[in-house]
Structure formats: C-alpha cells, structure tokens
Structure 1
C-alpha cells in the first residue's frame, strides 16, 4: 500500500496514557498520525516513538479549549497527509475533587471546557473534513459518564455530556458515512490516576479495584484496543455507542 492511501488519524491527549497507547497501536497498523496535546515534550516523544518504529507522525501543540487550535490541528492533518479518516478525541482533565456546593465556578468551568467543549471543538472541524469520504470518530467519556461520583460533579457532568454529544452527532452524520462512538474507561493505570499529580488517594483506587469483576485496573493498551476496534471496519455497523471498558465495575 502506498503512503498516500494509508489512513490518517488525529489523537488528542496523545502525550501519555490512553492517548499515547492508542497512537502507537494505530501507527503499528499502518495509520499515519497527527498527535495533539498541550504537553509539548510528551507529544513530541509520542511522535518520535512512532517514527522510530517506522511510522509517520507529526506533533501539533493543541489546546482543545481553543476553537482556533482545533481548526489548525485538522488543517495540519489535511495539509500534511491530504485526508482525515480517524479522530480520537481523548484530551481531558480529572479536575478538583469537592462536593458540588464547594466546587467553585472556575474549577467547574475548567473541567467542562477541556472534557466537553474540547470534544465539541475538535468534532466540528473533524466532521467537516470527513463529510466528503466518511470516517470514524471516538470520544473519550468514562464510566462516570454513566454513573455518579461524590466529589466529581464537573467530571461526571462533562462525561455524561460527551456521551450525549456522541449520540446526537452519530444520528446527524451517519448518512455521510461518519461513525461516531465513545469509549467509557473505568480505572486505568495512567499518570492521572497513579502518578505524582494524581488526586486519587490509594484507598479510593483500591475501592475501584475491589468493585471490578476482574479485580485490577486497566492498562492504557487495553483501552487503546477498544478504540482501535471502534475505528476499524470490524465495527462498521456500530455508531452512537458508549462502549464501557471498566473490568465489570458498572455491571454490579
């Protein structure tokens, strides 16, 4: 297959965790990657890892809360590779942990801006780029987009919103050959959950593990595999779905 006929994907939040794992997996399948993140060092590292393995990748610093950044991201994909087939809108933040009345509007707005408005900003430009030839979009929601969590009102609201946005857009653009789904991870072993800057106390993480039927956290690679399936032809009749990848936490 010549380079120009290989698929092109955008992955936001690609500097680490689920985003990096997904970018590497898609690149290993021959997809050309546009890696996006606000973290320049991590984003460049992901692109370099792809290139070191023989793939094609470019990094674009992108703040998904800025519509102009998202427009430039999609424009880069089209200018560099001539097409856009896949988008994984994964950039997100966990945010401040507090009960609703104590949360504060600034903290609330930050979580909504990144986790929900950021997905919307990316999707508007991705959809326009895909309307001619179709494509597949996956948005990162969460099991907290289906459940509630004390202290996480903004995160839960944003992720519930991602699922609603995903379903509405899937209905709007199915006839254009664009499939739009969401992935809903449970506890995943990333820097956001177990790193030095994590807001999760060990007891909370252990409680999540204890609730899972599989009795452990997911690896980023396991979520990446679900995303790769959702953007592949193997899921050609799947759209508007919010696929739960939580080891059974929400089954009980």
Structure 2
C-alpha cells in the first residue's frame, strides 16, 4: 500500500477506461496514489474514478508515439514524476487459426498489445531515468496465454509471448537506473474481454468442446497489481500468475 504520510507515488495506467485497468486505477486512487489514466475514450476514463486532485485523465492512443510522449509529459507536468507504469492496454484481436485471420487483424493486435506496450515502456524508462530520485517500476499485463494458448487465438497468443520478452528485456536493461519490471499473467478475471470469449455459453477448448469457465472478481486482480506496485525498490516480482480457481489452465492443450 502507498504510504500516505509521504509524497504520494505516481502511477500511469494504460487501458484505464475499462476492465482490469479501470479496477487498478480505482484501487490505486483509494490507496493514496496520484494516478494518470490513459485510454482511447475520455468518457470511459471519466467513469473510471471520481474526479479530484489525485487523478489525471489523458485520452491516449498507445500505438502513436507522439500521443504516448504527451501522456508522460502531462504526467510529469501535473505530478512531477512517474513511479509506476501499469502497462495494460490490450485487445483480444481476431478469433481464428493462423490461416483464418486477416493481416489487418494481426497487425491491429500487435500494434496495440506489443508496439503500444513498447512505446509506453520506452517513455516510462526515459522519464524514470531523468527524474530525481531516479528509478521506478513497470508492471506489464501479460496473460496466461503467455504460457499456453487458447484455440483460435494466434494473434493474441503471439502478442502475449512477446510481452514476456519485453518484460525480461526491461528488467535487464533497467537495472543500472533503478528501474524494475515485472509481469502479471491473469486468467479469467471477470471483465468485458472475458465476455468476448462467450464464457456464459462456453469457451472453446482444445478438444473442440465448449466449457463455461469460472471467473474471479476483477478487484482481486487489481489488488495483486497494487501489491506488486507497492514492493520496496529492493524487491521485484518477475512474473506472477493469478487465475480463477478451477479454470482449465494447468494442462491446457
């Protein structure tokens, strides 16, 4: 938990207009952080947290380098520094095997999930290197698909495997500057992206069957992210997996 007797830490949350990003932003504000909420649509951002001095809304397309640079510039202008980036913006992308999806769908998924995450991480690193005291923490939102895919999810699965590589590279290259990076891989928290998997009628399994899969409350995922964010600078979590109890992940495939 952020120590409110000290200057509040500053967290940038991408994809903050819905789902896990919204839950993390709300919990961060409640725990005393100054929070910069980034997302494509300002009305969704405005619905994420109550107005007040501890929240800054910045409509941002994370696939655009200029927009990401503006996001971090506004964060520093308002709060003076950036202590944590929750690199969360992402899309599930097209459903299909590699021979079934369009090039446009593939490109859109990688643009948001990989290039967007890279651009935000790059700007966070620049900011964290330049500030005094130097350093900070990046938490990438991966997925259990970074470990094992769902059927018909090639674009999303490839993008989340790429996030694992990004996380490890950021952790290695950030060491000299007091910048740590970890990854949270979440399975079946109750968000809109899970609705896209049609969990009410059944999600496609590796054997071709449909199965209604269990979910867990999104605030529990947010609580885990805030735990990672609140670690002392001397500690980091490289990768953490949190799933709904009983979901078909172990042994998937």
Gaps of 5+ in 1: 210-215
User: Which of 51, 58, 61 is matched with 2:59 structurally?
Assistant: 61
Residue in 2 aligned with 1:232?
Answer: 230
User: Superposition RMSD on alpha carbons, in Å?
Assistant: 2.1
More helix per residue = 1
Structure 1 partner of 2:242: 245
Unaligned runs of 5+ residues in structure 2 are: 205-209
Shift, 1:12, TM fit: 0.5
State which of 24, 28, 31 in structure 1 corresponds to 2:30: 28
Taking the aligned partners of 2:233 and 2:215, their CA distance within structure 1 comes to 25
Counterpart in the other structure of 1:148? 149
In 1: Cα distance, 2:69 partner to 2:5 partner:
24
Secondary structure at the aligned position of 2:74 is classed as helix
Aligned residue for 1:171, secondary structure, equals helix
For residue 12 of structure 2, the aligned residue among 10, 13, 17 is 10
Are the equivalent residues in 2 in contact too, given 1:179–1:238 (CA < 8 A)? yes
- Which consecutive aligned stretches of 4+ in structure 1 deviate over 6 angstroms post-superposition? 1-4
For the pair 1:190 / 2:191, whether they are aligned, the reply is: yes
1 CA distance for matches of 2:234 and 2:115?
A: 27
In structure 2, distance between residues paired with 1:122 and 1:4 = 27
CA drift at 1:199: 4.5
Cα deviation for residue 236 of structure 1 reads: 4.0
Q: For each residue in 1:100-128, what CA deviation from the matched residue of structure 2 results, as whole angstroms up to 9, or x when unmatched?
A: 10111100000001011110010000011
Equivalent position of 1:213 in the other structure: none
Mapped to 2, the partners of 1:223 and 1:208 lie a distance apart of: 20
**Separation in structure 2 between the aligned mates of residue 235 and residue 7 of structure 1, nearest angstrom:** 13
Counterpart secondary structure, 1:185: strand
> Aligned partners of 1:169 and 1:208: how far apart in 2?
36
Counterparts of 1:93 and 1:44 in 2: how far apart (Å)?
21
Instruction: Tell me how far apart the structure 2 counterparts of residues 174 and 104 of structure 1 sit (CA, whole Å).
Output: 39
Once the two structures are TM-superposed, the CA of residue 97 in structure 1 deviates from its matched residue by 0.5
